[in-house]
Each structure stands twice: as C-alpha cells, then as structure tokens.
Amino acid sequence: MQRIQESELIVNKRGAIYHLNIRPEELAPTIITVGDPDRVAAVSKHFDKIEVKNQHREFISHTGYLGKKRITVISTGIGPDNIDIVLNELDALANIDLESRTIRPQLTTLDIIRIGTAGSLQATIPTDSFVASTHGLGIDNLLNFYRLNQTDEEKQLLQSFITQTQLNPGISQPYISRGSASLLKHFVKDFHQGITVTCPGFYGPQGRILRLGLSNPHLIDRLTQFEYGPYRIANFEMETAAIYGLGRMLGHHCLSLSAIVANRITKQFSKDGMAAIQQLITKTLDVISSS
C-alpha cells in the first residue's frame, strides 16, 4: 500500500497528528466538535472521567467517559478552513497508521456531532431555540477542492437554490450534503429541522453591513424565501456544510446542532446565549449517553 509522505501527513515528536496534537489511542469513536476553545471544558465538565487533555493552537481536546460512553470533545475554531484540518486529521487518526503512513485495511466510522451557535433565517425559529441540520449547504467553496458526488435530488436542489437566490457564480459554486439520518433521528423533540447554509465569513458573507457595501445586499431575504419541495433554510453559520461534506466522503456519521443566538429576520439577539448553548450541551450529552 502506498506510503503517505511526511510533507502530506505531519506527525509530531510524540507521535501525535500535527494540528490537533492527538495520538490515535487518545481519540474516542464519538466526537463532539465546538468552535470556541473555552466550550471544550463546558462539555467535559459533565464527563464522569477525563482521560487526557491536549492542546495545540486553537485546537483543545478532552477525551473521557460519560457513563460507559467514551467521548472526545474538540474545539475547531471558526470557519470551513479549520474544519478542513479537523475532519481530515480526525479521520487520519482513525484510519491511517501514523507509523507506517499507510491507510488501514479496515476503516473506522466515527460519530461526529457539532454543538455550535447560529443565526436563524426564519421568524418562526426564535432566539434560544435549537436547530438540527438536515443538510449543510455551503457557499464557502471548500468542498469544490474535493470530489464530492451529489445525488440527483441534491443537484436539483442546488440548481433551484442558485436560481432563487441569484447567487453570483463569481462569489461561490455552492454544494450540499445531507446529515446523518442515524444521528438526526435522535434530535427531533425540541429541535427545529432544516437546511443550514455555511458561509465563509461573519460580516459580508452573512449580509452584515458596517462600513462596507455588499455585492448581494438581498441575500438574506432570498435565503429566507428559498423553498424546494419540503425543504427550507433554517439558519446559517460557518462550519456545518464542510463537516457534512467531508464527513460523507470519508465515511463518517455527522450531525450539526445549533443554538440560535440571533434571529436575522426579527433582528433579535439572545439575552443569554451562554445559557442556551449550555442547555444544548446537556440535551446532546443526554442523547449520546443513552444511545
């Protein structure tokens, strides 16, 4: 089997993968990703036991047990570029022998659940509510660097999206990927469901105007109005589509859960976003520990 060269897969002196600073035995099969490094401890404080803590740059990870369930929680930082690092390195830890630098003959499937924050794009999805993403629709271009095969339904949905939003092809060639049905089925009660749009930035790409004008000033309205059969856009943020697309290509089960801290239609912002995310953490851990 072909050996992966040192420049392509970087391993540090302690035998850990470079950016995440995790060794293969330090990774659990169930993984929670959070954007904020401080949120790692907010998750792991619920563990019954913490085995190992690692940190390199913005990537902090804690691996431990909640009951009999072994879990790794790791911070990704913000944006699809960081997700490119995190998803590829998590997969490498599970499916590449770091000593021989070859792909393992038996591949491991990981469960990867994002717990994050997002902005609602529907007046009926208020602040402090929760969204479980059925799909991630990326306008960030990351997955266009990979060979993502999309179903006929996804291709039709994307064409409808481009037509309805009048998205300039000079800005983005969007892509879409479905979340894991086996994970999503556990997050129905108390969760809104819908498409999550992933943006490459927080201000202009999400329609915010401070001192700079926008090339597509009507984007928010068009995202809100988009419909294709039963599908609607529920929210947007900066990681979900990248997680779904990379996870799907690598053979992992991925799900994105969001606490809504802003409603871009009613122009409201959560009065206590920290409480909302803590409630989402508790709900998610309850489901994980019992499944």
pLDDT digits (tens, 9 = 90+) for 216-244: 899 999 999 999 999 999 999 999 999 99
Return the percentage of the chain with pLDDT > 70, whole number. 100
Q: What angle do CA 20, 99, 61 make, to 5 degrees?
A: 20
The region that residue 176 occupies, defined by phi over 0 for left and psi between -120 and 50 for alpha, beta otherwise, is beta
Averaged pLDDT for residues 35-58 = 98
Amino acid identity of residue 75, one-letter, is: S
State the Cα–Cα distance between residues 4 and 23, nearest whole angstrom.
Answer: 17
Whether residue 11 is contained in a domain is answered as no
Q: What pLDDT was estimated at residue 116? A: 98
Residue ranges with strand state E in 76-127 = 96-97, 102-103, 111-120
Quote the mean pLDDT of the chain.
Answer: 96
Q: Provide the residue range defining the domain that includes 100.
A: 24-290
Q: Can you give the CATH number for the domain in which 275 is found?
A: 3.40.50.1580
State the total domains in the chain.
Answer: 1
- Does residue 8 lie within any of the structural domains? no
Q: Among 49-63, 83-97, 103-117, 154-168, whose mean pLDDT is lowest?
A: 154-168
Confidence of residue 18 (pLDDT cuts 50, 70, 90): very high
d(CA 115, CA 74): 10
pLDDT reported for residue 168: 83
Residue at 227 is within a domain:
yes
Q: Calculate the alpha carbon distances from 117 to 130, 186, 274, 275 in Å.
A: 9, 19, 10, 12
Q: Does residue 84 lie within any of the structural domains?
A: yes
SS3 assignment, position 25: helix
C-alpha separations of 42 from 118, 137, 174, 243, 280 in Å: 18, 28, 34, 22, 11
Residue 107 lies in a domain: yes
Task: Give a yes or no: residue 69 inside a domain.
Answer: yes
Average pLDDT over residues 145-171: 92
* Residue 226 falls inside a structural domain: yes
Q: Answer yes or no: is pLDDT of 171 > 90.
A: no
Q: Residue 11 pLDDT > 80, yes or no?
A: yes
Residue 276 in any domain: the answer is yes
